Each structure stands twice: as structure tokens, then as C-alpha cells.
Chains A and B, each alone.
Chain A
């Protein structure tokens, strides 16, 4: 008899779990506790039981009664809530105000992350610069032909200007830091430009400088390849070629395959199939000399790239002006 009772309890609990309506639940209750319900009957039958087992069975019946009554009550509540209060999880919401970083900031932190892995520190320098740090100490003496490539914005001609490249930070760092060092700088630069969709008087450059005994062109190549493959993808084609910059010797130009046309030639790559990406080289011995270093004892490399183009490609922005005039709509 006790076994039957335990089975009844377990079966009923399962039934209660499956019930979908209040009517069905009421039916279960009547089947158990109604005038001829199973539990009611079992209580009636108690008096016919062996007095020795009566007490034990009585306790069991009570326990079953309590458990099932509770279960029914709980189920009743949950059915009531579901039925009475309509719940719609598809309801539209209003987003709380979410902040966004500027695309240029995002690109800078991604790049910085890669160079941190290579032991580079992050630094900066003044934007209002002197001719000395922006040109003279960089092996760009007055009347150097390469100066005409950089029409400068002057604050107080000819000495005080807005830095025309982040290389000015290179000279500042060679002067300031103890060897060896590796630093990167990402910052604003300025040139005399008539503003249009692809030129702005202010732009961002990303520059790296390393000065350490034993650095070679092979280290520069390895560093740039590591960066380019990490940032732009393992499968990108790289052209590592000889190029002239007064600040370096030997000099390097690094180009990436144009993915806009698969190197067939398009307006983005000006029909070349390659995009000029990085200017680099071994720091010119004249620059080392300017700071009292001997090129036979120490060597270093420097590289620089324009950031705006990279940001524009990454975020599909066509007009350079929209980067810095508040036109960016955050979604």
C-alpha cells in the first residue's frame, strides 16, 4: 500500500508539471482530494489497516497531501500570472545613450597594440614646433629641395611653425631618451593645403623610431612586415623598395597591393596596382651626428605613415574632411 501511495505522488507531480490550463489542474485536484479522490480514499482506508502500520502510513499520507497541495497551489499561481498578464518579449526598446570612439582613435589603438608587442613605447611631442626640430636636425637644412614637398603653416616665419610631420618627435626623442629605445607616436600634423575631398590642412601621422646598437635594415623590414601582416592581413602583398627620404639612408618605400582593383589599376592606386603605405629607412648618419652619436657605434630606423587614408578605407569614408568636422554619425 505504501508503495502505491509513493507511485501516486510521483505520477501526480509529473501530471501537474504538464498541465496547461486551470481546468485540468482542478480536475487533478478533484481526483486526489474530492469526495472519492484517491488521497481521500486512502485516508478512509486507514482505519482498516493493521494498527502497527497505521501510524507509518498516516505520516506518509500526510506528507503526500502537503506536497501535492503545495504543488497544485504553485502551479495555479504561475498559470494565473501567465494567463492574466500578457508578456511580449518582442517589445521595442529605447537604447540608453551609448558612447563611441572616433575612427582615428580606434585605428591608433589597434596599431599601438601591435607595436607594444614589439617593445615599443608610446610618446608625443609639441605641435607648435621650431624649424630646428621639424627640419634642421632631421637632415633637412634650409634650401633643401625636399622642403618644397612640405609647404608648412607658419606661426612665426621662418622659425616657428606647426609640425609638418611626426618626425619632429623623432628628433625630440633622440635628444631626450636614453638608448636603447623604441617609440611610436600618433599625432596631428599640418601642411599648407587647399582643402578638398582628399587633402586637409590637418592630418594624422603614425611614426616609429628605434635606436639601438645592432639594428639593421633587416630589422626594419621584419618590423614593418610584422606590422603590415598583423594589421592588414597575412595574405597582403608587400613591395619593399628603395626610396629617397632625406631623413634616412638607406631609404625604404613600402607599398601594399591595391585591393580595390586586385592590382589591375584603378583610381585609388592611380593605375599603379600598389598603394604607397609607409616611408622608412635607417636613420641618417647626419641626424645621429647632430645628437653626438657615431653611426659606426649605433644605428636606428624610423618609419612613418599617413593615418587618415587607412582610417578612411577601414570605415568606408570617402571625404577626408568628414573625419574631423563633426560629420561622423555614430550608430
Chain B
């Protein structure tokens, strides 16, 4: 809210030190955004508070100043209004429950002219354009009181008007020449179906903007002034639908007090009279079906103390409430009952009242206490600890962490394919700000690939990256988020698959998780030499390569809780027996499977490694060890024979002597 200092001073006395004023306003909830100097005047720009419709006005801020310093707010000069059942020339028919109050007056023989300098200066300093004296005066009173006022040309709108919901497709040309096509949810002022100007033409969009023809012009002689109060939510939907964030609109979408309708009208009439810009009987037509009265709030001292964390003396509470114009209607030892003025539409609950007392008492005066209570149970999620461990282990193995957007850029969409089995689809955004934020990632691959290509293009020598994060999938009507780790590797001095695989194994080892199995499989994603990873019989991931870039993606949920609790053992006390065995193995045999079969044959095979490959001959190095004794040659021979028969029967391999 823009507050020209001179204008504020017309309402309330302010401290001479502007810094003090802005600091104190900030502390009670109206943060100073900036101070502007305009035409020699100082204008405060205070951050708008969504719940303080009353503070979208000079009067509202003046009341806040008064609440801080106790300086009284000067009473606005107004005329006394008389309520009438019907205005002389016009009647109103309210046809929807979205209207809470309407006040209307007629003003005759108005003099339309350029605004006098004081008025146009006031508006331009505030930030509104000067149009003519009457329109400017409606805006002037709105800025003063917070209640928007609209002026129609009384001779154009007919004698019978209504407020109703618009019909779909109904059109209006606004005051500023905009064309708006209305919907059946829009609230409009319109001429009635009968009377002087039948046909139901739309006169204005309620609370937001007037229609062009019916607005006042240089030739206008008589005007109809209206100030109203509508259902806030309805106005809000409407102004966002049609992008009508006008000065009136942004006030009507907040919780305005219906009781300020007559204040605004009587203030407007007072100024008309003062400058002799028209003639009127101070007669107002007041549609106000259910009157809003000040609400009562009970406050126990104890609750103020426990929620606010501060013990405020009763005399101080009373003083604060009186500065806020809140009336104490009842008090006893434990409790207060306070009457809240209707303009404070934000104070409804006890907690609201507590905030009021504490903010005027001063947030600076709240003590700092540090949770001197029972320490709650640790409920840290296991998967967060798992991710932390994966993150640190990947880093320790020389991988750099990447955090990428959850979206996939346009040029990578062909790689954003769900790899997991099932009828899974990519999730898309309905209102993406750009084409690059339209699709959510279904794998971590495209973004890691993008980062890798960047390194390659920047003439890096090595890219070794990982990302831990979610992928997003749709299965029928269900949305699924899965936690994944993706690892990618590229090296200028071309490395092979086993170099990459050794890093992956090192990661599993560091995590204390058994190494997975690799199954050669052609995937739907654009990777060659691809495979799926299996762990305890379940698929946990996939991998493959694109040119010289190796990639692997592992599901973290599938591995949750699989870490060995104690990832250590002691050196064995008895020495192993060591030997090399050379087998002739048929072509296209997965050697990993051969080794897995061998190592699972006997728990006394303590180590198995591939030592050498020469055409179809594979030399393995084997260690046999028993933790409790030294193995005899006979015992080793028995194990060896088990190996020989197993590889023969399963893979057709034979020992080479």
C-alpha cells in the first residue's frame, strides 16, 4: 500500500523521525518495501497484507499508527445520511446472494471538469491516473477509506437496475476500451429488463470495472454513486478470470467491512458539497439484508501466556486494546471479553486477538526460550539416512553430485522413457511456463546425460556424476514417485565396461550391500550393451551405454534395509589353500554366471577371481578356507570335484590339465 506521508498526517500525528515510523510499522506487520520521493512528496510503500482489507487505505494505516503510539485518529468530515426506501429516479433489484450490501445516492447538476491540482496530485502521488474531478473523487475516497466507489451516468442507466449473475457470452466494453466476454459466474450491474432502458444491458462488472457508455463523460449531468460489499470469493475468481486486478478489484477480493459503505458515501458527498461540484439530498438507498455487528472474543490470560510465551500485565493488555480501539466488555480474574470493531475482519479467533496484543506489545519483547521440553522421539525416515549414505559413498568413489530439475528439456524427450515394468506413463504439467518444463522425468538419465555432454563439450577429461532423486510416473489414475540413484561415467581415455562396473561394485561394497546380478537384456531406452540388475531375485535397476558414456540407475526403495549391519570381519586364523584352475568354456557363456555358480557351491570357497583369459580358456584363482581349521588335501579335492561337475553339467565346461 502506497502511503503519501502528507496524506497520512491529515489523519494522525506521526513521529518526526521517518525511520522510526517505518521501523515500527514493519515490526507490527506492515513491512516497508521502499520509500519513494515523488513531486517533492515522500511516499511509503508498505507490503500489502492479504488479511488486512482495512489497511488498503490511509485510514487503516492511520489506525495502525494510532495503535503503536496512542495518537488519536482524526475523525473524517462527512455529511449525515438519511436512509430511504427508494431513490427518486432509480430503483435497484439485487438478484443474487453474493451481494452483502449496496449504498446508492443520486447527485444532480454535477460539474465535470479537470481535477484541481490538489486532487490530481494526490492521485498521481498514490499511483493512479487523474481522469476528471468526479472519477478522481471516487478514487480519492477509496484510497482514504478503503471502500471502492463507482459513479454511473444517471441519465444513461435507466430507472431500474439490478445486480445479477451474467449470462454466458454476454459482452461488455470497459471504461478503458477492453472487451470482456462474461460467464455465468460473473457478477454484474445491469439495467433491468423493464423500465426506461430495458434490455438488461451490463453496466459494470461488480467491484471491478465500469462499462464505457454508462460511465461518466464530459457531458454527464447527473450521477448515480454506488458503494457495495460482495462475496469476496466470487469477486476474486472473477477478477482472476478476466485479469481485472484493478484498485477496486484488489480491495473487493479481500474481506472488506460492509459497515464502511456509508462512511465512503457520506465522505464523498461531503467533498462534493465542499467543492460545490453537484447538488444532492443526503438520501441513501441502503440494501443491507444482514447487518454485521462487532464480534466478541474471549481471551484467557493463561492462553495468552502459553501461546505468546510472554507474561503481560493486565493494565498493559488494557492499554494495548484501547489503542487498537478494541473494547473490553467483560473481565474477571482469568478471562477478558473483547469487542472487535467490524473493520477488523481479520480478528475472529482468540489467536488473532493474541497476535494483536503481542504485536503492539512488541515482538522484540518476547523472550527467547529454547525448547525446554521433553525431547521427542527420533522419527527420522530410514530412507533419508540411506540417501545420505549413498550420497557420501558415491562422493567417496569420485562421483560428483548433480541435482537437476525434475523436468526434462524438449531435446531429451526421446530419452525420457519409463524403464520399470508395468503400464507406466510419463507425467506432464497442464500449465507449463515453458516447453522445457512440460514433462517430469521418468528416469534420471536424460539430465545426467545433459550434464555429461556439457563436460565433454567443455573439453573436460572425465565426467563421473551421480544424482539421487525422484522420478515421476503415472499408472492409470495413480501418480507414483520412486527414489533412484543414477551414476554416469565418461573418460577421455576410453574406459571399458568393467572399469565402470568396478565402481558400481565398490559403491555396493561401501554401502554394505551384496553385489547385484547383471542380466543382459535389450531395454526400451536408447542404451546399447544394456542390462537389468537383479538383487535377491528382484529387478532393482538397469544400465547400458551411449557412445562412450556408461550409465546405471538403481532403485533405492528396493535396496532399503539391505545394508549389512556390521560390515566387517576378522582375519582368519587358519591359512587358505590356493590353486589355479583352467577351464575350457563354450562361447557366449556369461562368465559371471559361471563364477556365481562356483562361489555358491561351498561356503569354504573363500575367494574366487578370474586370473586370465586365453581364447576359450579361463583361468580362475581359488582360495579354500575353513575358519576353524586348516583344510587337508582330501577335503580340498572334494570341493574341487564339486566344482568340476557343476560347471560341466551347467555350462558344458571342462577342466584343462
**Residues in chain A within 8 A of chain B (CB atoms):** 96-102, 104-105, 109, 118-119, 121-124, 126-128, 142-143, 145-146, 148-149, 153-157, 160, 162, 177-178, 180-183, 188, 190, 192-195, 200-202, 210, 212, 214-223, 225-226, 239-244, 246, 249-253, 270-272, 282, 284-286, 295-296, 299, 323-327, 329-330
Contact between A100 and B369 (Cβ–Cβ < 8 Å)? no
State the Cβ distance, B460 to closest chain A Cβ, in Å: 8
Decide if A222 touches B29 in the complex (CB within 8 Å).
no
Q: Are A323 and B472 in contact (CB under 8 A)?
A: no
A202 to B441 alpha-carbon distance, docked (Å): 13
A6 and B467 alpha carbons, distance in the complex (Å): 71
A-side contacts of B431, CB under 8 Å? 153-154, 157, 192
Q: Is B536 an interface residue (CB 8 A)?
A: no
Shortest CB distance B354–A (Å)? 6
Contact A282 B351 (CB under 8 A): yes
Across chains A and B, which 7 residue pairs bring their CB atoms closest together, nearest first?
Answer: A218-B309, A216-B309, A326-B451, A143-B233, A250-B355, A97-B398, A99-B395
Inter-chain contact A195/B433, CB cutoff 8 Å: yes
Considering only CB atoms, which chain B residue lies closest to A284 in the complex?
Answer: B351
Nearest-CB distance from B405 to chain A (Å)? 5
Q: Is B364 an interface residue (CB 8 A)?
A: yes
Shortest CB-to-CB span from A102 to chain B, Å, is 4
Chain A residues, Cβ within 8 Å of B232: 143, 145
Contact A119 B355 (CB under 8 A): no
A199 to chain B: closest residue by CB = B433
Q: Is the CB of B398 within 8 A of A99?
A: yes
Task: Find chain A residues with CB under 8 A from B374 CB.
Answer: 180, 212
A160 to B428, alpha carbons, bound, how many Å?
A: 11
Confirm or deny: B384 has a beta carbon within 8 angstroms of a beta carbon on chain A.
Answer: yes
In the complex, which residues of chain A have a beta carbon less than 8 angstroms from the beta carbon of B472?
127-128
Distance in angstroms between the alpha carbons of A177 and B379 in the assembled complex: 8
> B462, A127: Cβ atoms under 8 Å?
no
Given the complex, which residues of A lie within 8 Å of B33, measured CB to CB? 270, 272
- Give 1 or 0 for each of B350-373: 1 = CB within 8 Å of chain A CB: 111011001100011011111111
Given contacts A222-B369, A250-B355, contact A241 B378 (CB under 8 A): no
- Over the window 333-351 of chain B, the binary record of Cβ atoms lying under 8 Å from chain A Cβ atoms (1 yes, 0 no) is 0000000000000000111
Say yes or no: A99 contacts B396, CB within 8 Å: yes
Residues A218 and B368 in contact in the complex (CB < 8 Å), given A146-B50, A242-B355, A326-B450: yes
Complex CA gap A162/B433 in Å reads 13
Asked if A145 and B307 sit within 8 Å, CB to CB, the answer is no
Cα A246 to Cα B351 with chains together (Å)? 12
Q: Which residues of chain B come closer than 8 Å to A192, judged between CB atoms?
A: 431, 433
Q: Which residues of B contact A193 (CB under 8 A)?
A: 433
CA distance A217 to B394 in the complex (A): 42
Whether, in the assembled complex, B329 has its beta carbon less than 8 Å from a beta carbon of chain A, the answer is no
Please name all residues of chain B whose beta carbon is closer than 8 Å to the beta carbon of A177 when the two chains form the complex. Answer: 379
Known: A180-B373, A219-B309, A240-B363. A324 touches B404 (CB 8 A): yes
B384: chain A residues at CB < 8 Å are: 122-124
Interface residue? B403 (CB, 8 A): yes
Q: How near does chain B come to A312, taking the closest CB pair, in angstroms? A: 14
Q: Does B434 contact A (CB under 8 A)?
A: yes
In the complex, how many angstroms separate the beta carbon of A138 from the nearest chain B beta carbon?
Answer: 14
Instruction: Please measure, in the bound complex, the distance between the C-alpha atom of A281 and the C-alpha atom of B190, giving whole angstroms.
Output: 45
Query: Contact: A154 with B309, CB < 8 Å?
Result: no
Cα A149 to Cα B240 in complex, Å, equals: 12
Contact indicator A145/B236 (Cβ below 8 Å)? yes
Q: Taking the complex as formed, is B253 at the interface, i.e. its CB lies under 8 A from any CB of chain A?
A: yes
Residues on A with beta carbons closer than 8 Å to the beta carbon of B29:
241-244, 251
Encoded as 1 (CB less than 8 Å from any A CB) or 0, chain B from 393 to 428 comes to 011111111111111000000000000000000011
* Chain A residue at smallest Cβ distance from B404: A324
Beyond A143-B233, A183-B379, A285-B351, whether A157 also contacts B430 by CB under 8 A is yes
Interface centre among B33, B351, B395, B437 (most CB of A within 10 A): B351
Interface size grouping (class) on chain B: 35 or more
Interface string of B454-485 (1 = CB under 8 A from A): 10001000101000001010000001010000
- Known contacts A202-B405, A249-B349, A324-B405; decide if A155 and B429 are in contact (CB<8 Å): yes
B649 within 8 Å of A (CB atoms)? no
- Contact across chains for B403 and A99 when beta carbons are under 8 A apart: no
Chain B: which residue is nearest A149 at the CB level? Answer: B50
Interface centre among B232, B310, B381 (most CB of A within 10 A): B381
| Residue from the set B27, B49, B373, B472 with the largest chain A CB neighbour count within 10 Å | B373
- Whether the Cβ atoms of A119 and B376 lie closer than 8 Å is yes
Point out residues on B near A: beta carbons under 8 Å: 26-29, 31-34, 49-52, 232-233, 236-237, 240, 253-254, 303, 305-310, 349-352, 354-355, 358-359, 363-364, 366-381, 383-384, 388, 391, 394-407, 427-434, 437, 447, 450-451, 454, 458, 462, 464, 470, 472, 479, 481
Q: Closest CB of chain A to B265's CB: distance in Å?
A: 25
CA distance A216 to B379 in the complex (A): 22
Contact A102-B403, Cβ < 8 Å, known A119-B376, A121-B380, A271-B34: yes
Q: A324 contacts which chain B residues (CB < 8 A)?
A: 403-405
The interface residues of chain B lying within 8 Å CB-to-CB of A99 are: 394-401, 464
- CB <8 Å contact, A217 and B427: no
Using Cβ atoms and an 8 Å threshold, which residues of chain A touch B367? 218, 221-222
Contact B309 A217 (CB under 8 A): yes
Q: Smallest Cβ distance from B273 to chain A, in angstroms?
A: 36
Of chain B, the residue at the smallest CB distance from A283 is B351
Shortest Cβ gap from A236 to chain B (Å): 14
Which of A123, A180, A221, A330 is the one whose CB lies under 8 Å from B368? Answer: A221
A119-B376, A250-B308 known; 20 new pairs, CB 8 Å cut-off, are A100-B400, A101-B395, A101-B401, A105-B403, A121-B379, A124-B384, A157-B430, A216-B305, A216-B309, A217-B358, A219-B309, A219-B371, A221-B309, A222-B368, A226-B370, A246-B51, A249-B352, A249-B355, A272-B33, A295-B307
A194 contacts B391, CB within 8 Å?
no
Chain A residue at minimal CB-CB distance from B302: A296
**CA A194 – CA B435 in complex, angstroms?**
11
B429 neighbours in A (Cβ, 8 Å): 153-155, 162
Cα distance, A101 to B428, chains bound together (Å): 29
Nearest-CB residue, chain B, relative to A200? B405
A residues near B49, Cβ cutoff 8 Å? 244
Q: What's the nearest-Cβ distance from chain B to residue A152, in Å?
A: 8
Chain A residue at smallest Cβ distance from B27: A241
- Find out whether the CB atom of A250 lies under 8 angstroms from the CB atom of B359: yes
CB distance from B597 to the nearest CB of A (A): 34
CB pairs A–B below 8 angstroms (14 shown): A122-B380, A143-B233, A145-B254, A155-B427, A182-B371, A216-B307, A218-B308, A221-B369, A241-B363, A242-B29, A250-B359, A253-B31, A286-B349, A326-B450
Question: For the complex, what is the distance from the CA of A181 to the CA of B376, rounded to whole Å?
Answer: 5
What is the distance, in angstroms, from A317's C-beta to the closest C-beta of chain B?
Answer: 13
Q: CA separation between A124 and B386, bound complex, in Å?
A: 13
Q: How far is the CA of A156 from the CA of B384 in the complex (A)?
A: 29
Other-chain contact of A118, B253, B363, B370, B450 (Cβ < 8 Å): B370
Min CB gap A197→B, angstroms = 15
- Of B26, B309, B377, B462, chain A has the most CB atoms within 10 Å of the CB of B309
Partner of A156, one of B349, B430, B462: B430
- Other-chain residue from A142, A160, A180, A183 in contact with B479 (beta carbon distance below 8 A): A160
* Chain B residue with the shortest CB-CB distance to A184: B380
Contacting pair B351 A325 (CB below 8 A): no
**Cβ–Cβ contact B28 & A97, under 8 A:** no
Give A218 to B369 CA distance when docked, in angstroms. 5
Q: Are B373 and A215 closer than 8 Å at their CB atoms?
A: yes
Contacts of B369 in A (CB 8 A): 216, 218-219, 221-222
- Would A242 and B27 be within 8 Å (CB), given that A118-B370, A160-B479, A326-B451 are in contact? yes
